[in-house]
Amino acid sequence: MLRKLGKTPPTATANVVSIIGADVRIVGDIITEGEMQIDGRVEGDITCKTLVIGPGGHIVGEIKAERVRIHGEVSGKLSADHITIGRTGHVTGDIQHDSLEIESGAQVEGHFLRKGHAPAVEQAALPKPGNGAAVPAEVMAAAEAAEAIAAAEEVPATVN
C-alpha cells in the first residue's frame, strides 16, 4: 500500500479542542481529558485539562482544570494550576490556584487560595479568663472570624 510523504496518521495524543458554540446551552456536567473552549452557556460542573472561556461564554458551576483562561463569565468555585482572567473576564466565586494572572479591567469577587499554602492570619488578643474580666462581644466576634478564616484557609479579596 502506498503512503503519502509528509503526512503522518492522526494519533490518540493529538490535541483535540471541544468547542461549545455561542448558540449552545448545556445543562449538566462536562468531563474531558482534553481542551475545551466555551463560547455558549454551561450550567454544571466542568472537569478538563485546559479550558478557555470566550467573551460570550457563561459558566454556572464548579471548574477543575490544569489551565483556565477566562474572557467571559464564571459563577462558581474555580480550581486550577494556572488561571488567567482576561480584561473582559468576570468571576464570582472562590479561586484556588498555583499561578494567577488578572488583567486590568477584569472583575473578580471571591476568595483566593493558593494551593498548598495556609494564609497568615493574626489571632485577636483575648484577655486572660483568670482575672474575672468579661470578654467584649466585638473581641469575641473578631476572634471567631479569624478562626473561621484560618479553618477555611481562604483569603478574602475583591478586584475590579
* Number of domains making up the chain: 1
Domain of 74?
A: 17-118+155-159
Residue 140 lies in a domain: no
Residue 49 lies in a domain: yes
Compute how many other C-beta atoms are within 10 angstroms of the C-beta atom of residue 93: 18
The per-residue pLDDT for range 97-152, each reduced to its tens digit, is: 999 999 999 999 999 999 876 555 544 444 555 555 555 566 566 667 666 655 55
Residue 143 lies in a domain: no
49 three-class SS: coil
Residue 103 lies in a domain: yes
Residue 86 lies in a domain: yes
Residue 133 lies in a domain: no
Residue 26 lies in a domain: yes
Residue 124 lies in a domain: no
pTM recorded for the entire structure: 0.66
The per-residue pLDDT for range 86-98, each reduced to its tens digit, is: 999 999 999 999 9
CA atoms within 13 A on the CB side of 125: 0
The per-residue pLDDT for range 13-38, each reduced to its tens digit, is: 557 889 999 999 999 999 999 999 99
